Structure 1
């Protein structure tokens, strides 16, 4: 799988067409996932402006600081036939971009654009309304190509390989931070370019879904939630949660963990084209609520994933968007008992013509160490 497969030159034309269809005059894409998605260029986020300008009509071009020009020309963006507009230290790149665009009514700014850049564009184009480029690009980014699905499958296999090693890292007497360091090293060794997050939540910390690593010492008989993910060299992300226990788990925990298993299975089985995102959330929530733990499931069932760990579509009540083949997202219901423990089971799924395909394949049972 090559860069051309994951970041095809056709994306730029698709983004331009979507911009015109949305009634915007241009997209302004600074370093971040939107720029990488459209151009393949993983530009450094610097105070000096790098910006892909995609007008609804006319030729796109890339604004780059002169000292970054070689990097931009060596990137996958060079395949797009773009003009690279290099600016010098004494230039105002925002004014240059504004002059080239001319009088425009509405532009879409990259969702992750720094405030300093968005405000500078506002000053350079005071009569232009700014909206999020995500309103245009979401329609493209949500629908993963076969190459993107393959990249996510590769990411899933890489993070599965790490979860298989976790039992060797966990034992009573070690701190969460010590275990987390071992996991982070394993994430990189498994083929990730970056470690995006490592959650090792032992005992009562398991009731905090986004617990940060701490110096808490793991005790015998304690459940541990391990939620880990990173980004591969190609830009696509992994994310998976499994549950471990150092010795036999408390009876209460074992009972609700089985509820959680059924809830996650129910949500995964609900995935197919034409069903709403909120109905997948409801499938998990119904099982947990019927078992009496509804108030302990305190977050959405899932999030989209691709070149960002969290992107659209979101699997949550109120999202009536209908699933289509190519949607990729997590299914991760959880049950959290404050002060005691918690559990979450998470897989990445892709919606296919025939249903949901799991991209994580390590056992979902509680692993007793």
Structure 2
């Protein structure tokens, strides 16, 4: 199936989804992980990041909590075998999966879990990992790891293992989406759009930023979504500079209201959309229209520029030039990858290239978020816009129908 056909597939609603979509997606994602192991001549990868575990195995267990408390982990071998070390009495989260799987009980050695026994527990954990490697891949010492606390890494190295950067491998694996993944991402985006529509209906003077933001959470959970990474919603003078999280501030008629969804929705896929409105849907001022027109121009100029085969550096160099008055408050990147969460690549502005840029090449099937924030240094308001897209053979296509305020232009 071509990526152009994937776009047609991505418009299918949840009730029309093929029963084998999840099975196909699971097999595709595991193949992508195995390809990275082969490309890096590595026999196995140890995963702690909940998002990486979800990608490789489609299991999810208290992702926010286990992201802070490393208490479940997975090892994927280059031949497709999987060992899952699961949290206490949670083996049921693996039910229904078609994996060559061995389940074990996780050994947690954080201070919260082990207290003064943390060092002893870490030794028990490490001895088991070393033993698994010796039994499953005898003579091999290379093990990729996505994230690991210092005591664990030190134990493995001390006992003869060579640790490789598993996070880089997983980021590369997650870069190119299958048709099935786009279908699942579409379900997340539709849930996110329901939340945005609800916020738009409820947007009126007199409610607080938190009141409004709660509508997105409501629709996400209602439609089977999972969690939201940030609380980026701001109004009035809190829209400049960007990156204020929602507060108890009461909305005033006619002022700007901006938000960034960062929503992990159904199937664990992220919907990352930014829009800016006026409170009460009042007619925007000339200054508000000017800010909006600049942000809209930045997003759409850069979308028109994107092509598979283009290098990250070329895209950064040719991207829309931010006027000097807005440059200081620019967004942190021109665009970034998106999948289950924000993903590789992260494209630096040309002005930031020497300090934060890295090169690579865009591929067909990569999903991206094209970013803009426009607000003058010392200004009282700003506009945040962001569009989620997929790269196809001829360029990029939006994945969301969530409208812009084109009547402001």
Aligned runs of 1:67-106 on 2, under 5 Å?
67-68=88-89, 70-74=91-95, 76=97, 79-86=98-105, 92-102=124-134, 104-106=140-142
Give the corresponding residue for 1:203.
236
Matches of 1:11 and 1:320 in 2, distance apart? 24
Aligned runs of 1:22-101 on 2, under 5 Å?
22-44=40-62, 45=66, 49-56=71-78, 60-65=81-86, 67-68=88-89, 70-74=91-95, 76=97, 79-86=98-105, 92-101=124-133
Q: CA deviation at 1:329?
A: 1.0
Aligned runs of 1:1-369 on 2, under 5 Å?
1=17, 2-8=21-27, 11-44=29-62, 45=66, 49-56=71-78, 60-65=81-86, 67-68=88-89, 70-74=91-95, 76=97, 79-86=98-105, 92-102=124-134, 104-110=140-146, 113=147, 115=149, 119-126=151-158, 127-246=160-279, 247-286=282-321, 288-289=322-323, 292-308=325-341, 310-317=342-349, 318-337=357-376, 338-365=378-405
Matches of 1:157 and 1:87 in 2, distance apart? 36
**Does the Cα contact within 8 Å between 1:244 and 1:366 map onto a contact in 2?**
no
**Does the Cα contact within 8 Å between 1:327 and 1:350 map onto a contact in 2?**
yes
Provide structure 2 residue ranges, at least 5 long, that are not aligned to the other structure. 1-16, 109-119, 350-356
Paired residues in the alignment total: 357
TM-score, with length taken from structure 2: 0.78
Higher helix share: 2
CA deviation profile, 1:191-223 (whole Å, cap 9, x unmatched): 423333342211111123321111112222211
Matches of 1:158 and 1:14 in 2, distance apart? 27
Q: CA deviation at 1:48?
A: 7.2
Matches of 1:297 and 1:74 in 2, distance apart? 46
**Does the Cα contact within 8 Å between 1:29 and 1:51 map onto a contact in 2?**
yes
Query: Larger deviation: 83-92 or 359-368?
Result: 83-92
Q: 1:226 to 1:85 in 2, by over 3 A?
A: closer
Matches of 2:313 and 2:383 in 1, distance apart? 22
**Does the Cα contact within 8 Å between 2:195 and 2:215 map onto a contact in 1?**
no
Q: CA deviation at 1:345?
A: 1.2
Q: 1:341 to 1:367 in 2, by over 3 A?
A: farther
Higher strand share: 1
Matches of 2:319 and 2:192 in 1, distance apart? 24
Matches of 1:228 and 1:59 in 2, distance apart? 35
Provide structure 1 residue ranges, at least 5 long, that are not aligned to the other structure. none
**Does the Cα contact within 8 Å between 2:75 and 2:84 map onto a contact in 1?**
yes
Give the corresponding residue for 2:354.
none
4+ long deviations beyond 4 Å = 46-49, 86-91, 281-284
Matches of 1:152 and 1:187 in 2, distance apart? 13
